[in-house]
Amino acid sequence: MQTVDVKGFKLPIVGLGTWQLTGRDCARLVEQAIRLGYRHIDTAQMYGNEAAVGDGVRASGKRAEVVVTTKVQPERLAPHDLERSVKESLHKLRLDVIDLLLIHWPNPRVPLSETLGAMAHMKSEGYVKQLGVSNFTVALLDEASKVSSEPLVCNQIECHPFLDQSKVIAATRKHGMAVVAYSPIARGGAAGDAVLEKIAKAHGKSAAQISLRYLVQQDIVVIPRTSKIGRLEENLALFDFALTEAEMTEIRALSQRQGRIVDWSWSPKWD
């Protein structure tokens, strides 16, 4: 599996998102994904499936090879709440350690320095290997980089061909962090787009694969979610072709500031 190397940490460039996956179906899908070659599994407290994800990882027999990411929900970012929630997540996962811990959404009511301080403490105590953030804007990235005593390895953001994230991608990279794209096929929106379908036909691929290849070709980590075994294989089959510069430019022209899908009460003021 190709990786993005950041601050000494190797993050597999294709992972499995598990939002809306639950119970035995989630565990079986995670296990199958790992058997197919996935080495990056993404979950969150908010998803309510950490136990099932942990079951799938353990059942695969390849725990040592897999990066497991989970995220602290915004209501639990105060230091005491965060430390307790990390221990709860680890208990639900039933794994030896959390490989990558993220702030799921920023909470303006809790000083970022306090949250990151608590996360650093969890790392020093051995509960967590690496730290990162999610849904952070340019300003929040600047602040986080100033106040964090530990390296931050990624910013997980909504990222797909229909959304212009150029400012926050540039800021993430300026701070030496990896960009991780959630909703990388725009929650199924790639299928049916005329430009993506045309390019897909030229390569013998699907529009979803073109959307994913567009991102990984820019060294952006993707974590597409699927509930179908067949799609697991499809989403992994991105490395036997390459998009031309002309095709990359054509796809880039699809992006717009108003292309966001995920926007809710915890959202910061977007760039």
Tell me the helix, strand and coil percentages in the chain, rounded to 5: 45, 20, 35
Instruction: State how far the Cα of 169 lies from the Cα of 68, in Å rounded to an integer.
Output: 23
47 belongs to the catalytic site:
yes
3-state secondary structure of 243: coil
- Please, what's the b/e burial string for 195-230 (b: 16 or more CB within 10 A of its CB; e: otherwise)? bbeebbeebebbbbbbbbbbbbeeebbbbbbbeeee
For the record, the structure tokens of 16 come out as 């499995």
- Element containing residue 138 per DSSP (H, E): helix 138-147
Q: Which of 47, 127, 182, 214 is catalytic?
A: 47
Of 105, 155, 140, 154, give the one whose Cα is nearest residue 262.
105
Helix intervals (H) in 175-255 = 194-203, 207-216, 229-236, 245-252
The answer for residues whose C-beta is within 8 angstroms of residue 270's C-beta and 6 or more apart is: 137, 260, 263
CB 146 within 8 A of CB 177: no
- DSSP designation for 186: G
Active site residues: 47
